[in-house]
Structure 1
Amino acid sequence: MNTGRKLSLTIAAVAALGMVATSALADKMYGPGVTDTSIKIGNTNPYSGPAAAYSAIGKSIAAYFDKINKENGGVNGRMIEFISLDDGYSPPKTKEQTRKLVEQDNVLLVFQGLGTPTNSAVHNYMNQKKVPQLFVATGATKWGDPENYPWTMGWQPSYQTEGKLFGAYIMENVKDPKVAILYQNDDYGKDYVTGLRDYLGDKADSIIVAEESYEVTDPTINSQMIKLKDSGANVFYNVSTPKFAAQAIKKFRELNWDAVFLNNSVSNSVGAVYKPAGLDNSKGIISLQYFQDNTDPSIFDTEPYKKWKAFMTEYYPDGDLSSSFTVYGYLVAQTLEQVLKQAGDNLTRENVMKEAANLDLELDMMLPGVKIQTSPTDFFPIEAMMPIEFDGEKFVPIGKVVSVN
């Protein structure tokens, strides 16, 4: 027997196995928070404080990740470990919680942090650390700036886009419009006002007859509403979060203000806003939407609705089936799922952002004609919406899906 030949063959076989193992390892590229079996995803959400109505979004996202973990074994064989921390809609708290997620919990990315002032507080930090600040839950225009902030991306239509669409609605549907605006005194509120003014152009100063702002720490907006009504405006443009939107609706009716009521989409929720304000009080409010109205009986027999309701029943049974925020959470979680699927075994922070900027996606509960599309130079995933009116029970379409470029 030729032992020398046998030994050389054995060494060659071992070497070949080593090359295979090395190749397999090389095919897997992991960033922080990723193993062969799990992916850590961070999140901040106002489970308490003035914007606590949005807690339904965080809970819906957690429920969706629970679903894919149980039914699919996670994404590409890795379970999602979703770490969601309460920031109370307080920027200093957001800083603290985000640092914890990045520096202690060692998450791969921070996903769906909610709020313009809160995300603004960590905007520079996330980009300096080169950690994805992905699909933030705010429509501020600054989240779509890949040249200067390549680690931050929004998800919903930008507030300026929505402001322009409201401007188009006003000019097409209101004779001799005189607009009064209530807005939150931060980037979120100012973005909506900027969008409207941009659309109105040189007519803005004559059409907008009053503007009143509020702080998130204010107990009420009653005094602002009285001033706005006294301006003689025939259009009320409400740019406020759910707590204040409900107050605005009640005061609007109490003042017997005869005006077209335009409500920004972040507060366009039956469960979180219109029910607390009173369904009768909310009748006739006009808003803009980009996903299906989960309170509309006409969609109850459709497959998308049945899938969403089955998800809610199984994984978020305490959730409010009349709240649009639960649909929002369901949709944005699916968007991140797609990004992770596309990333495959290359789960570095760099590749996550690369795949987030390479989406062409249609989701079940989106309105027909609304897609999620991104590119390396376009960090605005959704740019089309449809005008709708609340009839006291459900939202009724009053126009087609439109976009403003």
Structure 2
Amino acid sequence: MQLGVMRKAAIGLACGVVASWMGLAHAAEAPGVSAREIRIGQTGALTGPAAQYGLLARAHAAYFKMVNDQGGVNGRQLKLVLADDEYSASKSGELARKLVEKDQVALMFGSFGTPTNAAQSAYLNSLGVPHLFLGTGADKWGDQKALPWSMGFQPSFRQEARIYTKHILQTRLDAKIGVLYQNDDFGRDYLKGVQDVLGKLQAFKLVKVLSYEPSDSNVESQIASMHNAGVEVLVLAAIPKFAANALSETYARNWRTTIYIALGAAGISTTMEPALDRPGVTLYSGAYAKDPRDARWADDEGMRRYRAFMHKYLPDEDVTNPLPALAFNTGALLVQVLRQCGGDLGRANVMRQAENLKDVTLPLLSPGIQVTTAKDDHYPVEQMQMARWDGRRWIPFGQVMSVTFQPWSIGS
């Protein structure tokens, strides 16, 4: 009897050793993964014209530190390898190659910017490197056939613009519409969204379309042209620097218009400084996450966790800034994916798990909004609400709407 027990114990020990060895061997075969660490690459605008978004990268680093302090993921620490691309597409493409080939990252995660991520995407997809939960809402990240290894996070810019245009037609049916957009994939997605809803029958309502380059100093001449053209409703697809400048010029001209601001810019405090307690301009945007500035979330469990995180890991940053809140959500989503991977952290399985998220609730998503993905669905967040500026903050209103599948027919 004793011999049998000892034999079983020996077999169990041997199996454990083999399983452990196989786990280590598998980790060694997965790029960017060791027995103790998962290396994650990211590019960010730490400097340059979009430097306000550098906080997003710093918040991701802080989030991973919190996760590591809590034991990591499946026994491994998360190592963020961050590179400053200065919001330059050419630099971003070069840095992505360096992160993969020299720094040996397992995947790319949370990189900021539409033109910058676009410069990386062909290279990363050609190698089968997961390119996940990007800081951009470009519609292309949902094109799983063209970019099977890429996936955004927030609602698509194009779908966001469709919702804004539908709201314009519901509230200002005869308004003359203008679009001012950044001349890249980011801005062009908004223009396409407006055109989708207007269609051929109502295309005449779009009376002025202008663009700007990220290298421009300001958009004051474009705002003047919009005003002189009699635009009554402006869709503003701009990053914070230019959105703030557009608002300043609008108020300076005493132009009593209505502006729909891209939600990625509207949530940044510097964008809205010109509009603080200023009447005369009606401002709309969108919302899909809890706003740290909104008192109604004071006792919310997710918000309490977020504030505790900020207090401990980013004590010198503004807790009401939405960028760390975004990082808190996307960081939690990546951790969910890695946990689903179990012991198989190869790139193919990481992507497989990113495409297998079912009704995931994140701490700072608005109530009723969950994350679901599939192999043919690369849009993690597909819902949002309209929001109106009250002079101090954005107030969401109306029902939560799907931004991917809308009940209206395009061009109607």
**For 1:65, what is the secondary structure of its paired residue?**
helix
Q: Secondary structure at the match of 1:396?
A: strand
CA drift at 1:23: 3.4
Paired residues of 2:261 and 2:285 also in contact (CA < 8 A): yes
Q: How does 1:221-240 map to 2 (within 5 A)?
A: 221-240=219-238
Contact preservation (8 Å) 2:64, 2:331: yes
**Correspondence for 1:3:** none
Partner of 1:110: 108
- Which secondary structure state, in structure 2, belongs to the residue aligned with residue 388 of structure 1? strand
Q: Do the aligned residues in 2 keep the contact of 1:165 with 1:403 (CA within 8 Å)?
A: no
Query: Are positions 1:323 and 2:321 aligned together?
Result: yes
The correspondence of residues 5-404 of structure 1 with structure 2, limited to 5 A, is: 18-27=14-23, 29-30=26-27, 31-70=30-69, 72-275=70-273, 277-281=274-278, 284-360=282-358, 361-404=360-403
User: Compared with structure 1, are the counterparts of its residues 334 and 12 closer, same or farther at alpha carbon in structure 2 (3 Å cutoff)?
Assistant: closer
Report if the CA contact (8 A) 1:284-1:392 is conserved: no
SS of 1:385 mapped into structure 2: strand
| Superposition deviation, residue 296 in structure 1 | 1.0
Bigger mean CA offset, 257-266 vs 43-52: 257-266
- Displacement of 1:270 after TM fit? 4.5
| Alpha-carbon offset, residue 18 of structure 1 | 5.0
Distance 1:15 1:294 in 2: 55
Q: Percent identity?
A: 36
Contact 1:155 1:380 in 2 (8 A): yes
Q: Distance in 2 between matches of 1:206 and 1:74?
A: 56
Change (3 A) 1:378 1:46: same
Q: Give 1:278 shift.
A: 4.5
Q: Measure the CA separation in 2 of the matches of 1:65 and 1:241.
A: 27
CA distance in 2, matches of 1:168, 1:145: 23
Q: CA deviation at 1:17?
A: 5.3
Deviation at 1:21, TM superposition (A): 2.7
TM score, norm. by length of structure 2: 0.91
Q: Is the Cα contact below 8 Å between 1:293 and 1:394 reproduced in 2?
A: no
Checking the alignment, whether the CA contact within 8 Å between 1:271 and 1:320 is kept in structure 2 is no
Q: Which runs of 5+ in 2 are unaligned?
A: 406-412
Q: Distance in 2 between matches of 1:326 and 1:52?
A: 14
CA distance in 2, matches of 1:289, 1:120: 25
Distance 2:201 2:248 in 1: 30
Aligned residues of 2:354 and 2:373 also touching (Cα < 8 A): yes
- The CA deviation at 1:318 is 1.7
Query: Contact conserved, 2:257 with 2:282, CA < 8 A, in 1?
Result: no
Query: Shift of the alpha carbon at 1:37?
Result: 1.2
Once the two structures are TM-superposed, the CA of residue 59 in structure 1 deviates from its matched residue by 1.2
Matches of 1:123 and 1:270, distance apart in 2: 26
Q: Give the drift of 1:40.
A: 0.5
Match of 1:156, SS state, is: coil
Contact 2:219 / 2:242 at 8 angstroms: preserved in 1? yes
Tell me how far apart the structure 2 counterparts of residues 345 and 101 of structure 1 sit (CA, whole Å). Answer: 23
What is the TM-score when the length of structure 1 is the normalising length? 0.93
Shift of 1:20: 4.3
Q: Deviations over 1:77-99 (max 9, x none)?
A: 11111111100000111122111
Runs of at least 5 residues in structure 1 that lack an aligned partner in the other structure? 1-5
Task: Write the distance in 2 (CA, Å) between the matches of 1:378 and 1:242.
Answer: 29
**Whole-Å Cα distance in 2 between the matches of residues 107 and 211 of structure 1?**
41
Contact in 1 for aligned 2:219/2:245 (Cα 8 Å):
yes
